[in-house]
Structures are given as C-alpha cells and as structure tokens.
Amino acid sequence: MNVVRIEDVQDRIIELRGQRVLIDADVAEIYGVETRDINKSVSNNPDKFPSGYVVELSEDEKKELGENFHRFDRLKHSSAAPKAFTEKGLYMLATILKSKQAVLTTLMIIETFTKIRELSRTVKALSVVKDDSEQKGLMQRSGELIAQVLDEDLETNGTGTTLELNFAVLKFKHTIKKKGS
C-alpha cells in the first residue's frame, strides 16, 4: 500500500466543464479500490454527491478523453459513462470508502487542510504583529507548515531549498535545510 502524495495526483487532474476533476478510474487507483466500487459508492449514496461533487461524462467527453489521453484508451470500448470527481466529491468519496489506503488518504487530506488553515491564520497574524520576537516565531511556524504541506521530502540544492511566497502585503521567504544523515 502506497501513501498518496500530491505529485501522484497532479498529473491525473484534467479540466472538464471549467472544473478540475479526476476520472473515476484514476480515483479508484488513488484510493486502492476498483472502479466499480467507486461508482457503486456514488449510486448507493446519492445524497452525499450533490451537484458540483461528481459529473457524469457525456459520450462526446468520453470520446475526447480517449483521443487525447493514452491512459483513457480503455474508455473507447466501455459502454459505461465515466464519472469525474471534483475536490469536494473526492473528499466525500474518501469518507465512504473503507480500504486502508482510502482511510490514510482521507487522513492526509484532513491534516493538509488543517495545516493550510493554520498557515492562513499565521500569515494573517504576521501582518498585524509588531513585536519582532513574535514575528520571528510566526515566520518559523509558517515555514514549518509550508514544508509539511508541500512535502516532507523536498529536494534540496546544496544546503537547502528556499521557498519564497508573496502574499501581496507580506513577502515570506524560508529556507528548508536537510538534516545530516
């Protein structure tokens, strides 16, 4: 069983009807289940997938996917209409699925969003705090959160990797250094 990382998902995201989505077969692979389990979960829980959570592809959209993405060649011979999940739909699906990987993925999603909310509060506090000592502590915590959210295995160049974010009013720069082994 593999832990899902952002990098594993990024290349699978497609734009459909103006939304960023993942197709059911890719979702199944990410959550460690079969595509039929994904579709059965949606069918058995229609109240958990309101408009904006999951989209059923039209025949033209299905054909276009098969023509433009090699990994969707299997759709050309399938009679079923694939489903596309938005971010909200993915989260809801993860709360229904029972595989170990789905549970770990759900926990990762929750932890990531918690860290992003904490980072948001920390950055907001940085814009109003005047005390240098308190600012330094907030900057340190922001850097830690960014490193945790982006990836614990950030590649370093030489002694460290510098992340620079510009939040309009506040410019944040933090260097992440790899600890010696």
More confident residue, 110 or 178: 110
pLDDT digits (tens, 9 = 90+) for 11-57: 777 888 888 888 998 888 888 888 899 999 999 999 999 999 999 99
Whether 125 and 172 share a structural domain = yes
Whether 90 and 46 share a structural domain = yes
Q: Are residues 144 and 164 in contact, defined by beta-carbon separation less than 8 angstroms?
A: no
Dihedral (CA of 177, 137, 147, 13) sign: negative
User: Containing domain of residue 68, as a range?
Assistant: 6-98
How far apart (Å, rounded) are the C-alpha atoms in residues 22 and 19?
10
Whether 130 and 81 share a structural domain = no
Domain boundary among 98, 126, 157: 98
Number of domains in the chain: 2
Whether 58 and 131 share a structural domain = no
Q: With 0.85 as the threshold, say if the pTM is over it.
A: no
pLDDT at 63: 84
pLDDT at 48: 94
Angle 35-44/87-96 helices, nearest 10 degrees?
A: 90
